[in-house]
Amino acid sequence: MENNHEHEVHHKAAVHHRKAAHHLEAAAKHQLEAANADDLDDEVTAAHHGYLAYGHMIQPTHFAEMAAKEDESVDNADVDHN
Tell me which DSSP letter residue 50 carries: H
Segment 58-78, tens digit of pLDDT: 999 999 999 999 988 876 655
Domain ranges, residue 62: 24-70
The pTM for the full model equals 0.76
Per the domain annotation, does 66 fall within a domain? yes
- Domain total for the chain? 1
Q: Is residue 48 part of a domain?
A: yes
6 within a domain of the structure (yes/no): no
For the chain, the average pLDDT equals: 89
Q: CB–CB of 32/3 below 8 Å?
A: no
Residue 2 included in any domain = no
Per-residue pLDDT tens over the stretch 32-48? 999 999 999 999 999 99
Q: Is 51 contained in some domain?
A: yes
Any domain includes 42 = yes
Say whether pLDDT at 17 is over 90. yes
Q: Is 29 exposed, middle or buried (0-12, 13-18, 19+ CB in 10 A)?
A: middle
35 inside domain: yes
pLDDT surpassing 80 at residue 1: no
